[in-house]
Amino acid sequence: MKFSNFLFPASMDPNNDHRVIEETLREAQLCDELGMEMLWLAEHHFDGICAYVDPVTFAAALASSTKQIQIGFAVAQMSLHHPVRMAEQMSLIDNISKGRLVVGLGRGTAYNIYDYQGYGIDPAEAYDRLIEAEDIMIKAWTTENYEHKGKYWNLRLPLLRPRPYTKPHPSIVRACSSEEAMLGMARAGRPFLMNIQSNEVTKHRMDLYRKTMRESGFDEPTVANNVDNTWVWRNIFVAETDAEAKRLAMPAFETQQAFRSAMREKVYKEQGLLLKQETAPAARNQVSHSMLCGSPATVTEALAEIDKIGVGGLILVFRIGPMPYDVAANSIRLFMEKVAPNFRNKHTILH
């Protein structure tokens, strides 16, 4: 099981944007120095939920300021991007990073109408735009004298430059918030990113993913490779003791949830609508499902339960809400020094 840091820094006051962005760069460099496998970047606009806003620009900064860690999107909101421009940008970052890029794509936010309004995009078009854009990007990377006539774009280009560093093109992964979307990836023989779910739902979906891939005719090595490149999301905080972890992490988590809830209430009051109505509490809002919190031994035990499920990696948010940088950095160090080594060789997992 691989480990990654989901760089998802909130900036609740616009006056703090510069500081939070600068600290997030430092957080990425720390993870690189400590030997973590992956960084993931988000995309949210106009609300402070993700301070750096644009994962493409931020990925370029990370590619030039880190040495070995992989960089991925979880995810780029493809409905807000022109596919040829995106293909060029991804190819450039793939070259700058010498093949460390993973292109994670999604339809776009299911919550914030401002993301679409700010870019002049109808949210009802988001999924169809994602499907068409992804196909264009792959063809642009791999086809000379490429022409495309579609629902949203009519394009003609001789040869996309620069050519991707990774052959035939950078790795692509799709975010799947629903079981139905995950099944689509299984039938296509592709890995996916899973949002925060309970361990029970995570196990159900991973078992169903493997079963569906086999029923679709994929052999065991292909199934295993795709599982190895599938990642699931959790929040995490590690301190020397369980009590210290809860003291530092829980207020930050509660503030984060209140901030996001207030934003959605504000959107509803101003717009009279929500893009997605929740009929039951989402797993991401429940500490028991979304937060791994405690001493190194406690967190190792919790991670061992997820490892039994069989996932490729964990997308871990270390800096929760308004948590100070130094507090999050200490959690990352403890994790990499006292937790992660237990999973480098499965025979050494603590029980």
Beta-bridge partner residues of 316:
5, 234
- Strands 192-194, 231-238: pairing is parallel
Q: How buried is residue 150: exposed, middle or buried, by Cβ count under 10 Å (0-12/13-18/19+)?
A: middle
* Tokens (6 digits) for 224: 């295993």
* Tokens (6 digits) for 44: 């949210």
Please name which of 61, 74, 53 lies closest in space to residue 32, comparing C-alpha atoms: 61
Contact status, residue 222 vs residue 189, Cβ threshold 8 Å: yes
- Whole-angstrom CA distances from 234 to 176, 299, 315 are 15, 12, 6
Q: Domains of the chain (ranges plus CATH)?
A: 2-343 (3.20.20.30)
**Cα-atom radius of gyration of the chain, to the nearest Å?**
20
- Region class of 35: left (phi > 0), else alpha (psi between -120 and 50), else beta: left
Provide CB contacts within 8 A for 313, sequence distance 6+.
1, 2, 3, 4, 37, 38, 230, 231, 232
Contact status, residue 72 vs residue 40, Cβ threshold 8 Å: yes
Supply the pLDDT for residue 273: 65
In sequence order, what E strands does the chain have? 2-7, 38-41, 70-73, 76-77, 101-106, 146-149, 154-157, 171-176, 192-194, 231-238, 291-294, 313-317
CA atoms within 13 A on the CB side of 149: 0
pTM given for the model:
0.94
Contact status, residue 153 vs residue 136, Cβ threshold 8 Å: yes
Tens-digit pLDDT string for the chain (351 aa): 999 999 999 999 999 999 999 999 999 999 999 999 999 999 999 999 999 999 999 999 999 999 999 999 999 999 999 999 999 999 999 999 999 999 999 998 877 888 998 999 999 999 999 999 999 999 999 999 999 999 999 999 999 999 999 999 999 999 998 999 999 999 999 999 999 999 999 999 999 999 999 999 999 999 999 999 999 999 999 999 999 999 999 999 999 999 988 887 887 788 766 676 654 456 666 777 689 999 999 999 999 999 999 999 999 999 999 999 999 999 999 999 999 999 986 533 333
Contact status, residue 212 vs residue 179, Cβ threshold 8 Å: no
Please name which of 137, 126, 241 lies closest in space to residue 175, comparing C-alpha atoms: 126
